[in-house]
Chains A and B, each alone.
Chain A
């Protein structure tokens, strides 16, 4: 039980199970998936399809957060990429041809990559804080998207483009293939090679990892570029869903949803250790929550309230103070010799988890050089405990 409670996936999965249970009680057919014309239909499939853009963005966001950064501009990149793709298609002579769509997607992704590189340039070369560096593009990006669409909502009819989101492949929506496929590929690349460890090293202590021969700057830059690229892809999925380039509302607040998904998944905003499986669970929690609110017949405007409750619950349960309580309770129930070791591990983990500013027990690792060393050594203990 204690092992299960400590596992990083416990709370997000518990939240997901609770949401699904609530839905099934309200509407018993919730989990039913039917096959019509060889395509899968049903609420779980809908949730996955609606979650596809968020999944892509949360994937990039997790990697960025692992390097101690954050990317606020992804929502604006979503708007820009959707606007560019649809403007190109609507201006072309043959909107329905696959070649036009391919070129449109290529241009949109290229631009998204450039925007990601721009963020990376500000963060790594100029050394601007990530939050402020990406705030610049967050503010200006929507203006650029409006510039591209001329302030109008461009609507387009193009079957191949529409198929990018709502088409089916082997019975499963294309959007799910794209998002989940990319997610799996990136997860494998990050975890089966040293890349993930190098990213964590960069996030835990940029200076130390550089001295140890990790090319932190290149890594960080790559991660921002990838985040931009994924956001561009998400923008294509979003615009293919509505077939309208809405510079004002496409991907609005998606950066916040993505950050929430990452946090619910147990990746700390202070950087370092990250887990993509947690992010996946976090994305599903948010997507299911949005669905739940409609199933229960509550106005979608009230969704933020429930989102806030889930976030507060999950973050408080993951907070060092509460985890310490759990640890103490577990020690009391165990024999003394084992308990002592448990307490040691527990405190090391708390120090790592609290690095973002827990206050009294845990020193601010980012600002105090002395605390940096402790911070760097702590995750080793943590790995033994959690993985």
Chain B
């Protein structure tokens, strides 16, 4: 018995590796991230330090929140172009209401609820009226951006003591620094993971992405789940706005312009297929960290200009998309 056990476990290990091509894209992202960190570490001093890792999370907490919501929508085979604008709307609502003297305990729920309502409107337009997700969320994007300027055309600083105290809280775990924003973002990732893998809602999301018609024929609650996915995305975007306001201590209508592209890029680099049905929230987290690492490397390089970020992200997107395409071709 002692002789057979190791053999069996080795075979089992080999078969799990072979059986899960679903994990390959995420593994690819992980390898790229590790490679970039390793190359950065050999090129620059002070690159592989806890402070760089901490800042990676602190600077991208809002993007993590957006990517979690976007993962839900993309898994159903849809897309949400409004997240950048909803983020801006949320920062503007928070800043203007705090300026008007409302308490934090009321302001934050109101801002997040605004995001949920916009998400609900998207879901209803898409599910009930059959509008394309691209068009519906594009309208939402314009709507939220315009609303920002109606509420406040100028940048509003946030000086509310309760909010700044909440945003300013941080904790040192050894040399790693965590802020409230990072904690909220990571909790959001954890919730997203649990909801997607351990609830009926999450499994229906995957089923819709895999084949909406089949999901419907199986008697799953397609309509409710699809609307729900957009509500999740709107809520996450508003939460992202809250985290963004925590980082910037201000609300401005031009926050997060084109940030929806970063969120989509992070989700795609994280291994989620835009056709829906395949992907993981943790992959999206890795995708955000990869984008963040590119920016960090370019900052460390110093003499490289900021536009290289865009080019590198584009090239990385290309590599991942071609890789995914090759994988999916081999499967069929």
Contacts and interface: CB of A to CB of B under 8 A. Distances in A.
B292 interface: no
A359 B261 contact: no
B131 to A, nearest CB: 5
Interface in B94-146: 125-136, 138-143, 145-146
B268 interface: yes
Chain B, interface SS category: helix
Most buried by B among A308, A315, A358: A308
Nearest to B324: A128
Given A137-B314, A315-B135, A364-B213, A357 B129 contact: no
Interface stretch (A15-23, A94-102, A297-305): A297-305
Contacts of A133: 321
A367 B212 contact: yes
Contact of B153 (A139, A301, A305, A354): A301
B318 interface: yes
A305 B142 contact: yes
Interface stretch (A31-39, A52-60, A255-263, A376-384): A255-263
B139 A312 contact: yes
A145 to B, nearest CB: 8
Contacts of B125: 312, 315-316
Interface residues of B, number: 55
A269 B130 contact: no
Interface string B191-210: 00000000000000000000
Interface stretch (B20-28, B279-287, B304-312): B304-312
Contacts of A151: 305, 307
A314 B127 CA distance: 17
B145 A304 contact: yes
Given A140-B315, A371-B213, A356 B140 contact: no
B246 interface: no
A308 B143 contact: yes
B321 A128 contact: yes
B253 interface: yes
A246 to B, nearest CB: 13
Interface string A281-316: 000000000000000000101111111110110011
B307 A132 contact: no
A359 B128 contact: yes
Given A147-B311, A302-B149, A305-B150, A269 B132 contact: yes
Contacts of B311: 140, 143-144, 147
B43 interface: no
B264 A135 contact: yes
Contacts of A354: 130
A157 interface: no
Interface in B39-67: none
A176 B239 CA distance: 45
B182 interface: no
A256 B150 contact: no
A315 B222 CA distance: 22
B332 to A, nearest CB: 11
Contacts of A256: 138, 141-142
A320 B130 contact: yes
Contacts of A178: none
A259 B145 CA distance: 18
A278 B215 CA distance: 36
Interface in A94-147: 122, 126-129, 131-133, 135-144, 146-147
Given A138-B261, A359-B130, A368 B211 contact: yes
Interface string B298-332: 00000001011111011101100110010001000
B138 A299 contact: no
Given A139-B313, A259-B138, A260-B138, A356 B149 contact: no
Most buried by A among B138, B309, B314: B314
A285 to B, nearest CB: 14
Interface string A350-379: 000110111110111001100100000000
Nearest to A360: B223
B158 interface: no
Given A304-B146, A312-B125, A356 B139 contact: no
Given A131-B79, A132-B268, A359 B127 contact: yes
A7 interface: no
A70 interface: yes
A26 interface: no
Interface string A265-276: 000111000000
Contacts of B322: 126, 128
A319 interface: yes
B265 interface: yes
Contact of B213 (A122, A322, A368): A368
Nearest to B213: A368
Contact of B129 (A132, A322, A371): A322
A321 interface: yes
Contacts of A304: 141-143, 145-146, 149
Contacts of B253: 301
A132 B321 contact: yes
B275 interface: yes
B324 to A, nearest CB: 9
A301 B151 CA distance: 11
Nearest to B314: A140
B134 to A, nearest CB: 6
A101 to B, nearest CB: 27
A146 B307 contact: yes
Nearest to A303: B146
5 contacts: A146-B307, A259-B138, A269-B134, A357-B133, A368-B213
Q: Which are the 9 A-B pairs with shortest beta-carbon distances?
A: A140-B314, A305-B146, A358-B130, A143-B310, A308-B143, A146-B307, A304-B146, A304-B142, A143-B311
